[in-house]
Chains A and B, each alone.
Chain A
Amino acid sequence: MMRARCLALVLVLLAAGARAETVLPDPASEARAVELHKSLRCLVCQNQSIHDSNADLAVDLRQIVRERVAAGESDAGVVDYVVRRYGDFVLLRPPVKASTYLLWFGPALILLAGATAAFRFLRRARAAGLGAPAPLSDQERRTLAALRDGREP
């Protein structure tokens, strides 16, 4: 029992050490800050948001976001602050702008191109009569008739 309690205390202290940061007293502001944290990429471990990362820089950036939220800045203002320093790369959801049109609309364009190609191919195949079997030639007709009558073709 005593040992379990010591272990629990050690774990709590370890967790506190790993995340030496202060949560905002107002739960609504903290929730806003956390949403912002989730939308910002950690630049040290680039496939995580700063919310998920324990990198030193992520802790600092989380704290900066909290300070700005607490100071009453808008979400767009806070995001802009980070983007001015680190560029669009920090946004886990890239903005829609000229340089990202291909990223956003590329998949739809490829689908459209594929659908157009498939449509044209099928239409041409139908026009060429590839859908229906070709009519029998005279030779085939004679062979078929012979087989039906039980003769050697």
Chain B
Amino acid sequence: MMRRYHLIPVAIFIALAGGLYVGLDPDRNPKAVPSALIDQPVPEFALPPVEGRGLGLASADLRGEVALVNVFASWCGPCRVEHPLLMDLAAKRVVAVHGINYKDQPKAAAEWLLRLGDPYTRTGADRDGRVSIDWGVYGVPETFVVDRAGRIRYKHVGPLQADDLEQKILPLIRRLQG
């Protein structure tokens, strides 16, 4: 009878240690906000292309094929870090890559794409950032995986890294395409 109670502190310790162990996971980003839009249709929007590009981006363009939508800006340092990965992805033609240009100067955005290369099939210039807010964007870069039905299936916050692509994003894309 008495002995059972002695296990309570042990149980509390194990629960606490377990919680702290999860909290110490180096891959966990405590600032990442779970997206409210996962499995929701993309918001209704229509954006003109970045200056000098032909194709704008609208919700209708995101139906019919699996797509990667990357929110970027020329003033955003981490966007430059992930840029080569997007170029590589576009060159391999694994998936349609589209860009939403967040609160950028038209000239600066055009120059960025000219100088560094343009991985995007379609671009949407979101000058006032309102469309990005509809997408639940809170910091560039952010990358979304959209399925054939035009639903958001995954969101990545921060610059893409090779590991994120290999382990999470590309397997998901293959599954959605399969």
Contact = CB atoms under 8 A, between A and B. Distances in A.
Contacts of A43: 33, 138-139
A56 B138 contact: no
Interface residues of A, number: 15
Interface residues of B, number: 16
Contacts of A86: 33, 36, 136, 138
B95 interface: no
Contact of A87 (B33, B128, B130, B135): B33
Contacts of B90: none
A7 to B, nearest CB: 30
Q: Could you tell me the dominant secondary structure of chain A's interface residues? A: helix
B57 to A, nearest CB: 18
B138 A57 contact: yes
A70 interface: no
Contacts of B28: none
A89 B36 CA distance: 9
B133 A85 contact: yes
B138 A44 contact: yes
Interface in B109-141: 128-130, 133-136, 138-139
A56 B104 CA distance: 13
B31 interface: yes
Interface of B: 31, 33-37, 103, 128-130, 133-136, 138-139
Given A85-B136, A87-B36, 13 more contacts: A44-B138, A46-B31, A56-B103, A56-B129, A57-B133, A57-B138, A85-B36, A85-B133, A85-B134, A85-B135, A87-B33, A87-B136, A89-B34
